[in-house]
Structure 1
């Protein structure tokens, strides 16, 4: 892609996300009404109490994961092949009323120790199921040739169990804290981005705009594309996704190649937009190229890579 000046990039950005619909003010009025008799007042009061109790009962669901230090065993109930090396795995929660117990943006840990393993293997995953989903939690797992946990998970059969622990909070998201978020992902690094996008879009009070850049090797490697396309159709003025392919076919309508400064300058607001936030997730090489790797799971480290070269500050970038 040809390099763009910062003014041209900002013009493109403004055109891309120009507000399609104006907000309409709504007003509500109410008037007091007196009860006709004490009997009616009693019935109304009893109904309100019963209704409130019912709402409270259904609004609060038990959580499967309540202690970050406690492992919980959950059985596999469904497995689906997504592509040549990726599966979705659905695990049953203790009851049909349970929710997993995660907030946005947070993850969970999985643990497995084989009969010949000296120590257990522990890996983090971000579920693709909604945080409010009852009775199950769903993971998207890419099987790596030398990945002991991903291999074990992808080879699980129905009713076999895995240990889970959490929640592991990554970033405490607040609605409308950022005017725009830029989500830069490679491979299964797309899962925390999906969690964040879903939370933003299902909150009618959250007006945050989203730019997603999903980097993959081939068309078959693009994950959750159908879900993102539906969200783009529903929110064309707030959500835009870009897909990069290293091995793009001749008829590929998107961008070929790897993530670059030129692309980021075109699709993201400039570093002068102080309430902009970029989120990055992917393999170590992707972090190194885009923003520099974290020093540790809890230490974001210094900002480097493409985002630093473009002038963004450390406070404008979060590394999952």
Structure 2
């Protein structure tokens, strides 16, 4: 970080003048300040700010020291952006996730509840009685700390169904040579996506050679029980525009996201028994529902008693995504079972072989009844085949576009 030199910084009329430059000893007794500038690698957003650290006399009894930040973000019309106490040093080199959280203070809630009252206090005091300005700063710092600490504990849903929003990529974990889990930060640590169980989100990107932005749908493998971020499991395909774009995305860069969307909204005990057929990355919406059901079991304080039976088809053993997590869930829950199917099974394989057949469905999934459901998700050829197979087995015919109450529902 580099010290920021502002024009006129030594003039008495500058309300952001560092206390250390003041001749008022009481000011130094209350707070310390420093003017800084930080350019965060990968985030492409240089940030200038004044850090005012409150000393013991200005602190609320029993609270730890905090730093009062006045953020100035470059824009066509630079203005006072935010006043808030950060967790430690607010700007760290290449710390894009923290930068994303920091920038979230520009929300309407922060402006109306913190920035405006604090600014009025500071400006009014400076105009009326400049010698009391250091005390006003300390008071504003205490007010901001209390206001933001009390409001920061509540979860806020951030998804917008009509507009795409940018979310910062903060982590990428490779699962295999062409599969990775991408973690995107939400604006605040307490934020949640606000995605109903069974629904998904849309990702948009400008792809060279395409006249219009490309949009694809994905189901996060994280849930609203995990605040501050969301995770996407994505397989990169040679011709996959969005999957290739994600694969090339660097930490600190952003992805446009909109949602929620989809016809399915899972509710506890909507069916006595649910059969699932998934292929490849089609496991993601299934896992979302499976985890929600198990999390809401009576033993966990919920009321969901739905039985779940999953057939999970893949080509090779290495293609079985999230197998460890699935096996652990099955081991912990006696109402959840998995049957793996492989095109190229290894020696000694005891699961299914080849394509998912009618016999596998009859043996492993619930028989047709008014209180059961069959969920499908996978490659289009697989879904087409499974719709025909389930109809031949006596399940209700699946429509071209699935609706919430369909007996056979394709994501």
Rounded to whole Å, the distance in 2 between the matches of 1:177 and 1:114 is 40
Report 1:220-231 matches (<5 A). 220-231=318-329
The question of whether the paired residues in 1 share the 8 Å contact of 2:163 and 2:258 is answered with yes
Superposed CA offset, 1:190-234 (max 9, x none): 100000101111012100000001010000110111111111111
Pairing 1:280–2:384 present: no
1:138 is aligned to: 231
Rounded to whole Å, the distance in 2 between the matches of 1:245 and 1:276 is 26
Report 1:138-177 matches (<5 A). 138-177=231-270
1:49 is aligned to: none
Rounded to whole Å, the distance in 1 between the matches of 2:203 and 2:154 is 26
Report 1:24-63 matches (<5 A). 60-63=154-157
Pairing 1:232–2:330 present: yes
Pairing 1:129–2:222 present: yes
1:131 positional shift: 2.2
Greater relative contact order, per chain length (Cα 8 Å cut-off, separation 6+): 1
Unaligned 5+ residue runs, structure 1?
1-55, 292-304
Pairing 1:104–2:187 present: no
Residue 64 (structure 1) aligned to one of 111, 134, 158: 158
What is the DSSP-based 3-state SS (H/G/I as helix, E as strand, rest coil) of the residue aligned with 1:265? helix
The question of whether the paired residues in 2 share the 8 Å contact of 1:103 and 1:169 is answered with no
After TM superposition, the score normalised by the length of structure 2 is 0.59
The question of whether the paired residues in 2 share the 8 Å contact of 1:107 and 1:170 is answered with no
1:275 positional shift: 0.4
2:366 is aligned to: 269
Rounded to whole Å, the distance in 1 between the matches of 2:254 and 2:396 is 43
Rounded to whole Å, the distance in 2 between the matches of 1:269 and 1:64 is 37
1:310 is aligned to: 393
After TM superposition, the score normalised by the length of structure 1 is 0.75
Pairing 1:182–2:279 present: no
Pairing 1:258–2:352 present: no
Which segments of structure 1 move beyond 2 Å, counting only runs of 4 or more? 56-60, 114-117
Change (3 A) 1:227 1:312: same
1:243 positional shift: 0.5
Superposed CA offset, 1:46-68 (max 9, x none): xxxxxxxxxx9788411121x21
1:83 positional shift: 1.2
Pairing 1:243–2:344 present: no
Rounded to whole Å, the distance in 1 between the matches of 2:152 and 2:255 is 29
Aligned length: 249
1:311 positional shift: 0.6
Tell me which structure has the larger Cα radius of gyration: 2
Structure 1 window deviating more from structure 2 (111-120 vs 178-187): it is 111-120
